[in-house]
Structures are given as C-alpha cells and as structure tokens.
Amino acid sequence: MLTNTTAASVGGQHRVLVVDDDCAIRLHARIILENSGIDVVEVGSGEQAIDILKRQRVDAVLLDVRMPGMDGFETCRQMRSMYRGDFLPIIVATGLDDREAIEAAYEAGATDFIAKPIDWTQLKYRIRYSINTRVMAEELAASHAHRQGLMQTIPDAVFSLDGKGRVTGGRLPASGWGDAAALFRVGYLLSETLPAGAGGLADQAVSAVNRGTGQASFEFDVQSSAGPRCYEVNLAAGGRGDMIALVRDFTDRRRAEAEIRSLAYFDRLTGMPNREMLQQFAADKLNAFAGTSSQLALMRLDLQGLEYTRCLLGNERANRLLCLFSERLNAVAGGPRDAPSPSPSLVGRVSDGGFAVVRGDLGGREAVRAFAKRLREEMAGSYTLGDYEIEVTTPLGIAVWDGGADMDALTLFDQAEMAMAQSCSTATFYSNEIRDQRRKRARLVKQLQSAVNNGDLHLEYQPKVDAGDRSLFGVEALVRWVHPERGAVSPAEFIPLAEESGLILSIGEFVLDEACRQSRQWNAAGRVTVPIAVNFSGHQFSKKGLVQGVMATLAKHVTAEGQIEIELTETVAMEHCAGIALILQDLQEIGIRTAIDDFGTGYSSLNNLRQFQFHTLKIDRSFVADLGHNPSARSIIRGIIDMSHALGMQVVAEGVEEDHQLEYLRSQRCDLIQGYLTGRPARGEVIQGLLKAA
Ligand code: C2E
Ligand code: MG
Ligand code: MG
C-alpha cells in the first residue's frame, strides 16, 4: 500500500535532496549518487531546501549543518514539521569531531549523520539504507492505522490473550455489551470467567491455537441482565505466542434464525408443526425404524365444517375454531407428557383444515385402530364459538408402515390422504384396494381427457314441468359420457374426477356452449325454446373471467336473456361464499338466472341464502324420496317451500318418481317438478318434440 508514496520518485528512481552551500560537495554528491541510480536535486541553502520540499517529493535529504542564513538544524526542524515530514530520512553532514553538532542535529530531528569529509562510498549505502528504513516505517505506520480502523469498525469485542488464554487487554464495542464485560477480565483465564461449559470450550480452543491450527472458535450462551445472550468467540494466533480473541454477540442472529425456523416449520395460527416439519419427522422415524420391528402410523384428519364457519361467521371465528380444534387434538393425540426424548409422536396442521398425527409408539394395528377410533370420536362433535355451536365431522385416514417395503414420508402422507378421502363414518386404513381404486381413477381421468379433447361428450335435457298442469317450463342440461368400453358413465362418477383433475373447466365450457347452441337450434327448427339450466362446479367460480366467458358464449349463439339458468349446489355456494355473491350478481345483470341445487344436503339454512338472491331453489331429491316413509320429510319440504316463497324464489322438487310425491308437492304449492315421473333426461331431438311450435 505504500508503493504509492515511494513511487513518487521519478520513473521509480529515488530522489535525494542535497543541501549544502559548498557547490563542490553538491557536485560530488550528484556524481556519486546519480551513478548509483539515484536522482538528485541540489540547493545551496536551507530556505531553498524547504521551498523544494513544498513542491516536490523527495525520498531523503543530505543536509549540511553549517550554512549561511538558515542553518542545518533549523532546516531539519522545519522539514520535520512539514506534511509527511515525520518519516523523511534526513542525514546531516557534520564536522568529524563536532559532538555538539551531532547532538543538536538529532535533537532537531535528524535521522542519521555523516562526518565531513564525506566518505562518498559510504554515503550512497547510508542513503539507500535510510530510504529503505523509511519505506518500512511508513508501511508499518499504515498497517497500524489500518488495524486501528478495523478495530473501530468491527462490531465485535477484541481481546488480547497470552498463550495460556489469560486476557491481557481488550476493547469492547461502544454499546450493547452490558454486563457481559465481566466475562473477559484482564488478568484472568477465559476458563475462569466464562460460564461453566464454555470454560472447557475456551480451553480446547486455546490448545488448538497453540497446537498450530492458527484459528479456533466456540460459542456459548449466558444469562445476562439483558436476558439470555449468545456469544461467538474466534481465537487467532497473535504471532508472538499470544492470541487475539474476537467476541461477537449473535443473539439477534440466533433470534432471527429461530424466527425463520418457526416460519418454515410451524403453523402461524395454531403454533403447531406444519407439513414440512411433520414430513421431516416421519422421514427421520422411517430412517430410525428401518430394520427394526417398530411401526410408524400416520393419521390424516380433516376438520369438516371450517368453510361453513368461515362463510357464516367470518374469518376470525373460523380461525378460533381451528385453534380450538388444534388444542383438542394436542390434548388427545399429543402423546404422553412423560414421553421419552426424542418424542415418538408429533401432531400438526398440514393444510387449511387438514391435520396429521404421526405416532411411532403404538404397538400393532389393533392399537392404531383403537387410537384412531378414539381420536375421531373425540375430535368430531360440537365446538363453541361465542353464541354459536359448530358441528364438526372428521374424516380420518391411516397409513401404517411396519418395516416391510421401502417407504418414504411423502408416500406415507399420500397413502393416509387417499385413505382419508375414502373415510366416511369410520377411520379408514390405507389398503391395496384403495391403491387400485386410485389407479383406476387415474386411468379414467386420462380417458375422460381424451373424451373431452375428441368431443365425445354430449348433453341430455331433463324436463322441468309445472307442478299443476305439467306443462313444460324448462329443462336441465346433464352431461353424458359414453365410454368406449364401459358404455355410459354416470356424471356422479366422472364429475368429481373432472373436478379433481381440472378437466371440469373444459367440460363446463363445452356444456354451456352446447346448451346455447341447442337453444338456438330449437328456435331455428321453429320451436319456442324454454330456459335451459346448466350445472356449474365450484372450480368454475374460482376461475377468473367467468362472467366474461359466459357473456362471450351467449353472444356467440345470440342467446336471449333468461334462456340460461346456472345451477350451483348449496355446498359450492357456501365454500366460495366470499366471492360468489358478487359473481352471481354480475351473472344476473347479463340476463342469467341462478338456482341453488340439491338444497338441504349442505349445512346452510335458508337464512344464509339470503345474501345470494337466487331465482330458483331445487329441493334435493333425498327429501322427495323420503316422502311417504319419513314423516319429517313432509314438514321439511313444507318449510322449505314456504321459506323460499317468502324469499321470492321459485321452487323445483327434484327426483319426483311417484304420483303421491307429486300430489303432496302440488298441495304445498311447489312450483316445478323434475323427475322420472314427468320426464327422463333425453337427447335434444326428443325434447324438440315436446316444444311448442313457434
Ligand atoms: P343434479 O344437478 O342434481 O342433476 C339431477 C340428477 O338427478 C341427474 O343425475 C338426473 O338424471 C337425476 N334424476 C332426475 N330425476 C330423477 C329421478 O326421478 N330419480 C332419480 N333417482 N334421479 C333423477 P345425473 O345426470 O346422473 O347427474 C348427477 C349429477 O352430476 C348432477 O346432479 C350434477 O350435480 C352433476 N352434473 C351433471 N351434469 C353436469 C354438468 O354439466 N356440469 C356439472 N358441473 N355437473 C353436472
Ligand atoms: Mg342440477
Ligand atoms: Mg340436483
């Protein structure tokens, strides 16, 4: 870093200023020095010398003491006090035995002296030596300044230690060190002042540095007046058998790391371990259990009733429900309090309403079954949220690994989830049948995809007739898939698959397009067309641009207002309730009628439906089927019809198969009937025959 200052010499040459009133000496000096590659500037007085120094950089000065005007001593003094003068080698030429002059010269700041008459050979070496010494001194000073600067800027405390690890000095950072200063006391070994445990680590680090590793570090925690603190000590060899210790307070970093870990592995709302943590835990257990007779059970359960709560009572109460559920789950499945460490079980939240329990301490399948049964019973049931009682159900799937085949945590989770999807009223174990069903479903999805791509789907239309005179009021479009090998596949089977796989979006587009096309075609065939109801799935409501898409299809087929009705089930309405009310409003504004389908199967009450303002309500066919043998069905149907009318909705009864059902519905002023009694789903050509001529 100092080459810069020496490089001031011309072309890399050193430059010497010769100051002497005797021009013969100056000339001699010039010849000698220039011959040995040193540049020379010569002046005859102290004043001139100072002037030169102000303007030029020189690397050394040969200065006569006895000169007229300003003598050598004063010149020397002034040179020293000039900018960068402190390291300038000034060699003073004195008389041979002039001890006084020599002393005075040193006092004035001379670096060296040379006796007159000058030994010219010696001079050039003396000058070179002085210049080298000056370079080293400057480097040393700069290095010292650099170190000082570093010390000021680093946030660490710095201590010097002797070879045994005894503190010999140090510097604490300006702030934030508190009472931790007592941990590093001058005159004490680190092992004497650090907390127990850390002392041993300090000894080990000191020994390591002494053995020649050059550097060693350790960390320790301590309880200070400012709470728990964490320190990191880096020891490095100091070069003379001593050491330097840099001590950093990394409490904040540790806290941030803990926070990051908590974000990565814990659920914020409930504080429970999240899916990542559970998977990691299961993976660790699978590893640990490999080759032993231990078994690992994974139970997946869903909190059903959460969406309903969110829709009905808002987010805050839904979150409260999640917290209550997680507390109960911890109490029931969190494992015994005195469980050995590391814990054999872990309970956590894996998705919005999804929870999981991993247990490595249940012996045998029967024990797992009994535990799962109890878990399900205890978790289902009612939860109190202020004035509300929420009924919760909990499908539960179990996957067990008993050391047999290779297993990884992801597969175990998949298996438990597949089993949960099959679970209705009991806890369900994952089995080969479930696996095979899955595979079958996957195959079917693939075939459905080709059917969608190849245009192999078609629509049938089921009449909705007036309950009084049975005149045709409208139709419901029902999608049909004729499978090349299996024949007709029920929408009840393939619609859920389409929903799972996302195919429902293309199917939905096809159905609406085809219904609009059919309506126009009936018109073109000279018939008075009737409104067509089209079923929409929840996924269609989740997709952006639904209303624009519907508008485009209506425009494409020039479909008149009121000709299309969109049906959505009660469950869909409730699950998407946040955004759905607005979408329905937009749809109504572009002339679409709206209907709530399968009413009575979900959780909602008529009161909840008020926010949606449907045109039509369809009573689920299970109530109609119950008419005749379940006395309460009558009153339920009556209640629904009355309430719907009060809310301004038209009522359709679905699944009417028998006359007595129709009679009862008519007596209760049900508006429309849809069922095998009054018309099965049929192809568009068949329906065309039922339509009035225009
Ligand atoms: P849904 O919307 O409630 O349709 C009425 C279902 O009841 C139809 O079954 C219909 O054939 C059947 N049904 C009508 N009358 C009777 C009767 O008297 N007795 C009995 N037992 N059943 C009757 P389908 O066509 O099998 O459709 C089943 C469900 O599949 C539909 O229920 C609807 O939720 C869904 N679905 C059908 N087509 C579509 C569609 O295009 N898109 C969507 N998203 N879902 C559809
Ligand atoms: Mg329907
Ligand atoms: Mg229905």
Question: Would residue 17 be called left, alpha or beta, if left means φ above 0 and alpha means ψ between -120 and 50 degrees?
Answer: beta
Distance from residue 503's CA to the centre of ligand 1 (Å): 18
| C-beta separation of 477 from 595 below 8 A | no
Does the CB atom of residue 153 touch ligand 1 within 6 A?
no
Q: How far apart are alpha carbons 521 and 304 in whole angstroms? A: 44
Token code pair at residue 510: 């096809």
Q: List the end-to-end C-alpha distance of the chain, in Å, as a whole number.
A: 101
Beta-carbon contacts of residue 493 (< 8 Å; ≥ 6 apart): none
One-letter amino acid at 64 equals: D
Does the CB atom of residue 479 touch ligand 1 within 6 A?
yes
Give the range among 147-156, 335-344, 465-474, 495-504 with minimum mean pLDDT: 335-344
Q: Look at residue 10 in the predicted model and tell me its pLDDT.
A: 46
Q: Whose CA is nearest to atom 45 of ligand 1?
A: 535
Strand order in the sheet with 157-161: 167-171, 157-161, 243-249, 227-237, 215-224
At 61, is the secondary structure helix, strand, or coil? Answer: strand
Q: Look at residue 174 in the predicted model and tell me its pLDDT.
A: 66
Beta-carbon contacts of residue 219 (< 8 Å; ≥ 6 apart): 201, 230, 231, 232, 233, 250
Q: How far apart are alpha carbons 249 and 236 in whole angstroms? A: 18
Does the CB atom of residue 511 touch ligand 1 within 6 A?
yes
In this structure, is the dihedral angle defined by the CA atoms of residues 327, 332, 338 and 343, taken in order, positive or negative? negative
pLDDT tens-digit series, residues 524-561: 999 999 999 999 999 998 888 999 999 999 999 999 99
Nearest-atom index, ligand 1, CA of 460: 25
Token code pair at residue 461: 């239309």
Q: Look at residue 2 in the predicted model and tell me its pLDDT.
A: 30
pLDDT tens-digit series, residues 198-244: 999 999 999 999 988 889 999 999 888 778 889 999 999 987 889 99
Give the range among 4-8, 172-176, 322-326, 618-622 with minimum mean pLDDT: 4-8
148 has a pLDDT exceeding 90: no
Q: Would you place residue 341 in the very low, low, confident or very high pLDDT band (cuts 50, 70, 90)?
A: low
Distance from residue 496's CA to the centre of ligand 3 (Å): 15
Does the CB atom of residue 492 touch ligand 1 within 6 A?
yes
Calculate the alpha carbon distances from 328 to 269, 325, 350, 383, 391 in Å. Answer: 15, 5, 16, 10, 15
Ligand 1: residue of 507, 535, 599 to mutate (most ligand atoms within 8 A of CB) is 535
Beta-carbon contacts of residue 432 (< 8 Å; ≥ 6 apart): none
9 has a pLDDT exceeding 60: no
pLDDT tens-digit series, residues 46-59: 999 999 999 988 99
* DSSP one-letter code for 192: H
347 has a pLDDT exceeding 60: yes
15 has a pLDDT exceeding 60: yes
Does the CB atom of residue 676 touch ligand 1 within 6 A?
yes
Question: Would residue 40 be called left, alpha or beta, if left means φ above 0 and alpha means ψ between -120 and 50 degrees?
Answer: beta
At 173, is the secondary structure helix, strand, or coil? Answer: coil
Does the CB atom of residue 493 touch ligand 1 within 6 A?
no
358 has a pLDDT exceeding 70: yes
Q: Where are the alpha helices (DSSP H) in 159-230?
A: 190-193, 198-208
Q: How far apart are alpha carbons 300 and 611 in whole angstroms? A: 34
- HEC letters along 608-634: HHCCCCCCEEEECHHHHHHCCCCHHHH
Q: Look at residue 605 in the predicted model and tell me its pLDDT.
A: 67
One-letter amino acid at 79 equals: M
Q: Would you place residue 572 in the very low, low, confident or very high pLDDT band (cuts 50, 70, 90)?
A: confident
Distance from residue 572's CA to the centre of ligand 3 (Å): 12
Q: Would you place residue 600 in the very low, low, confident or very high pLDDT band (cuts 50, 70, 90)?
A: confident
Please, what is the average pLDDT of the chain? Answer: 90
Q: Look at residue 149 in the predicted model and tell me its pLDDT.
A: 81
Q: How far apart are alpha carbons 345 and 339 in whole angstroms? A: 9
pLDDT tens-digit series, residues 65-123: 989 999 999 999 999 998 878 889 999 998 767 788 888 889 999 999 898 888 888 88
Q: Look at residue 151 in the predicted model and tell me its pLDDT.
A: 73
Q: Look at residue 340 in the predicted model and tell me its pLDDT.
A: 58
Calculate the alpha carbon distances from 190 to 162, 170, 175, 339, 355 in Å. Answer: 11, 13, 22, 39, 50
Calculate the alpha carbon distances from 170 to 231, 246, 335 in Å. Answer: 16, 10, 51
Q: How far apart are alpha carbons 318 and 608 in whole angstroms? A: 16
> Distance from CA of residue 247 to its chain's centroid?
32
Nearest-atom index, ligand 1, CA of 478: 38
Q: Would you place residue 7 in the very low, low, confident or very high pLDDT band (cuts 50, 70, 90)?
A: very low
Distance from residue 689's CA to the centre of ligand 2 (Å): 23
Distance from residue 356's CA to the centre of ligand 1 (Å): 35
Distance from residue 491's CA to the centre of ligand 1 (Å): 7
Q: Would you place residue 4 in the very low, low, confident or very high pLDDT band (cuts 50, 70, 90)?
A: very low
338 has a pLDDT exceeding 60: no
**Residue length of the chain:** 694
The domains of the chain, with CATH numbers, are 14-150 (3.40.50.2300), 154-255 (3.30.450.20), 268-430 (3.30.70.270), 439-693 (3.20.20.450)
Q: Whose CA is nearest to atom 8 of ligand 1?
A: 478
In this structure, is the dihedral angle defined by the CA atoms of residues 541, 542, 547 and 552, taken in order, positive or negative? negative
Q: Look at residue 339 in the predicted model and tell me its pLDDT.
A: 56
Taking the CB of residue 95, how many other CB atoms lie within 10 A of it? Answer: 14
